[in-house]
Structure 1
Amino acid sequence: MRLGWLFAALLCLSNQANASIEQTLLECRGLTQDSQRLACYDQLAKRFQSSTATTTIAPVVAAKPAVKAPVPTPPVSAPVTKTAQAAKSQPTAEQQVEDFGIRYKEIEDEVTKIYLDVVKVKKDPRGLLKITFSNGQLWKQAEAKRFKLKAGDKAFIEKASLGSFLLGTDKRNATIRVKRLK
């Protein structure tokens, strides 16, 4: 019961303090000279800062029982690639000034296009192709475009934008977007 009365009293005091701050804020806004207005706002900020500092209550945290820490596993070193080495080397300020505004691409030693032999072509219930290649990979057509492909054809898969892949043949000038399943 006492706690309820104490809480109600604090609530009333905080409402009065907020009303006082709002009133002072309006008075500061009414001042015409810039220096006086700034001084008024500074005094208001100091008063607000001191009132919030005294009313801040630190949260009580209960002590948790000690838990045995897991045993860390030794780190496994991965082979360093050329792109990782390039990312580690930071260009100098002089080099950054020289290269500013120049758009260039780094040459990567990464495979961007592969040729595979088609072993089997099936259509799913939606009419999209499921293509099995000689190396065991299974790819599925990702867009509803008409594309003729049969077993025994030599097809290529190349990287496209935003991490997607395109499938096509050298006989045709068309490609379809595909997604790897297996």
Structure 2
Amino acid sequence: MSTQQKRLTPPAVLLATAFLGMTFSNESLANELVDNLKTCAGKADEQLRLACFDKVVAGIEDRTRVDQIQARQPVVDKEKSFGNEGKQKEQVLDKIYATITRVTEKRLRDPVYQLDNGQVWAKKDSSRLRLRKGDKIYIERGALGSFFLGKDGNNTRTKVERLR
């Protein structure tokens, strides 16, 4: 009887059990998997044992799909967070394009640009860049956390700060 039990639990099954147990982050799922594999390995009939292992593997595949779906994180709209990253440590855009929907004046006649993506940017320097409603512009990241607003085809750009 002991030779038959050794044949039913070959080292490969035990190794696979240990490996699969380590790949699951949830300890209770790993323990359940190990118990199921041991139960299957203990079956005397080869057909029943094979069917049992197939059932366990199918359960692993289903849980893997569920884990993959749960692991997906919602896609963050990088354009909406441009210039407002703060302490975020993720990949950020270097440049965005938008259309000016409204130009108002801040103190000392500094223009404030409202964009079609909902962002609001204010001019911070004394450059002579003149922009109007409907102009297609870009805002690009500068050194040391600064941002510059410019227009394609125009060699001038102005330093801006994001208000909203």
TM-score, reference length from structure 1: 0.39
Please identify the structure whose Cα radius of gyration is greater. Answer: 1
TM-score, reference length from structure 2: 0.44
Greater helix fraction, Structure 1 or Structure 2: 2
Q: Bigger relative contact order, structure 1 or 2, given CA contacts below 8 A and separation 6+?
A: 2
